[in-house]
Copies of this chain bind each other. A is one copy, B any other.
Amino acid sequence: MASSTSSYNPPCAACKFLRRKCSPGCVFAPYFPPEEPHKFANVHKIFGASNVSKLLHDLLPHQRGDAVSSLAYEAEARVRDPVHGCVGAISFLQKQVDRLQKELDAANADLIRFAAGGGGGGGVFQTPNTYTFPYNYHSPWNTSYNPHGGRDI
């Protein structure tokens, strides 16, 4: 076989999708390798290449990998569920947190009764049908989101 000093660098998935030359300083190239074409296609469909490029340029280089990961996750979630996107997962997890907190409070209340010598509250694994202890979940943001009004999704 003949050897060659020239090397071929395939364009990144973004430049290939956008049908443009992939320059050495391409902001997409480190995060959208050619072997993951769907990753960029989703991100482009949901956010738009221009918005993603602007967002990456506004970040420090060491933050861009995490930003692309979260954008790709959000984009895939929105493609799968155009109504709720990844906010559906937040709603799902918030309900799990609420349920687990209630069960934990009930179990701890039973343990207090056992420790005081009063026995369990009607069965070791029985949780109360009505929950009266205060429970507050504080979102990391002030913005609350509840598109389902308590309905299961």
**How many residues of A are counted as interface, with CB atoms below 8 angstroms from the partner's CB atoms?**
57
Binding site for B on A (CB under 8 A): 45-48, 50-51, 55, 58-59, 63, 65-67, 69-71, 73-74, 76-78, 80, 82-90, 92-94, 96-97, 100-101, 103-104, 107-108, 110-112, 114-115, 120, 124-125, 139-141, 143, 145, 147-148
User: Do A143 and B87 contact each other (CB < 8 Å), given the known contacts A101-B100, A104-B100, A124-B115?
Assistant: no
Instruction: Indicate how many identical chains form the complex.
Output: 2
Which residue of chain B has its CB nearest to the CB of A58?
Answer: B82
Q: Identify which of B65, B87, B107 contacts A86 (C-beta below 8 A).
A: B87
Top 10 A-B residue pairs of the complex, sorted by shortest distance between their CB atoms: A93-B93, A100-B100, A107-B107, A70-B87, A66-B147, A114-B114, A73-B145, A48-B48, A111-B124, A69-B147
Which B residues are in CB contact (< 8 Å) with A145?
69-70, 73
